[in-house]
Amino acid sequence: MGVRLPSSLGFPIEYQEIEMDRRRLDRYKRLLLERRGEMSVASADAESPIPVAGGSKGDQIDQANADAEAELQIHLHQTDGRLLRAIEEALARIRNGTFGTCEACRNPISKARLEAVPWTRLCRDCKEREHSK
């Protein structure tokens, strides 16, 4: 049952809480599954996920470069792991019917934000507040 609100055009409009339509929800699910698949392929294609640190081979510059590469690979794996968890959580929110709703303020997340970051759990305002802490 909707609430009647005045329209700027001079006639009443019906206001109803709008659920994300099935077609758009399916599109986000497809985007999330594609991204998850890309991550799986990328990790399977990696020859050595984390290279061995410098060790005693090569000069100090070679060792420093190898150490830096190892640290970078570790950071990338951690980042990929967090992104994969966020994607899985977004897929669970689709199944639970809570996808597209901010977990902090319970308001709808904008379409533009979902298009850019379909695994997001927070609206732009709540995400900005989280970063400013």
d(CA 7, CA 66): 65
Find tokens 């050595």 and name the residue.
Answer: 48
- Cβ proximity of 84 and 43 under 8 Å: no
For residue 55, the model assigns a pLDDT of: 53
d(CA 126, CA 100): 13
Letter for the amino acid at 122? Answer: L
For residue 71, the model assigns a pLDDT of: 84
For residue 63, the model assigns a pLDDT of: 83
| Torsion angle of C-alpha atoms 133, 82, 95, 105, degrees rounded to 10 | 0
For residue 88, the model assigns a pLDDT of: 95
Find tokens 């392929």 and name the residue.
Answer: 41
- Cβ proximity of 122 and 102 under 8 Å: yes
CA 26 centroid distance within chain: 16
Handedness of CA 105, 116, 81, 53 (dihedral sign): negative
User: Of the candidates 100, 112, 106, which has an alpha carbon nearest to the alpha carbon of residue 19?
Assistant: 100
**How do the pLDDT tens digits run along the chain, 133 residues long?**
344 444 444 434 333 334 568 889 999 999 999 999 988 776 665 544 555 554 556 788 888 888 888 888 777 777 788 999 999 999 999 999 999 999 999 999 999 999 999 999 999 999 999 988 7
- Cβ proximity of 101 and 39 under 8 Å: no
